[in-house]
Amino acid sequence: MKIILGDNQFFGVNHFDLEKGVQTKLKFDTTKKIEIFIRNSLSVGMDGFMINSNDKGYELITTTKFDSSKEIHYSIPYPHKYASMVNERGMMSLFGHIIKNTSFIKNLIGGIKLVATQNLKSITPLALNLEVPKNLKKGSYIYMQNIITDLLMGMGRGDILIEYIKSVSKMGYKPGIITLNPIMFDKLLKNEQDANWLKDLVVCFNINKEGFNVFPSLDAVESFIEMRPKYKLMGMSVFSSGAANIPSSINYIKKLKLDYIVFGSSRLENIKANFDLFKIKE
């Protein structure tokens, strides 16, 4: 089981304690502070880190090189980034951002294809071209955020998610999906069991002893994990956003057949203590 540093603490995300989330966001108010914390966490022994494509995350990947032996798990898109851009500086700032950070030729071809075919799947390469830093090292994981994953599943457009996974693989990266309902997502793959990209896919979802935000139910997700699909499984929210007893939560997670777990903390001593507990053999 690989252990990945999460990024919620960097951006003020805490589903259990909103005030604590605000405090941790202030602690990591610059990209440099985030970089230092990631490097210190990796030195503890973490296998890699996760970061999303908001302004700080994009800048971090664009300007910083990390130990090549450590994995980067990069998640897209970050819708709030674009909403803030338009609200604060107007639509022209959004157009400028798109022109600056994407390939004109690729977007021209993709745009023509989208208009000509009216096939929404054609927007996937455009989104990747915009969201993924050009110097993100090949072999890194690129995840679709659950806000988009679950919306597309609810709309019955799982075909767009499969196209996204294929597009990521063609770019030389490994595909990832974040979802609040891994069982529903698994049903999308029933006709893809022989796909080459399946072995590299990582599906990330909530799992914890308390069943906090575990969907559709804790029993159902435990049974799903036990099935061992052909792709890799990553557990998140393993500490119920800080509401659970940590040692008890870790003992529970260690018994599950997961390939990855991701957790974060704003304190390096907590990262080390939790990492050490995960590595203790039963």
Per-residue confidence band for 25, with pLDDT thresholds at 50, 70 and 90: confident
Mean pLDDT of the chain: 85
Q: Which long-range contacts (CB under 8 A, 24 or more apart) does 244-250 make?
A: 244/208, 244/209, 244/210, 244/212, 246/274, 246/277, 247/277, 248/209, 249/208, 249/209, 250/274, 250/277, 250/278
pLDDT > 90? residue 168: yes
Average pLDDT over residues 197-201: 95
Q: Looking at residue 243, what is its pLDDT?
A: 72
Tell me if residue 75 falls in helix, strand or coil.
strand
Percent of the chain with pLDDT over 90: 68
- Give the model confidence (pLDDT) of 245-275 as tens digits: 999 999 999 999 999 999 999 999 999 999 9
* pLDDT tens digit sequence for 115-164: 344 445 556 776 787 789 989 999 999 999 998 899 999 999 999 999 99
Mean pLDDT within 8-37: 81
What pLDDT does residue 117 have?
A: 42
Whole-number Å distance between alpha carbons of 181 and 153:
10
Q: What is the per-residue pLDDT for 115?
A: 39
Mean pLDDT of 219-229: 97
Share of the chain above pLDDT 70, in %: 79
pLDDT of residue 21: 60
- Which residue segments constitute the domains of the chain, with CATH numbers given? 2-93+139-279 (3.20.20.20)
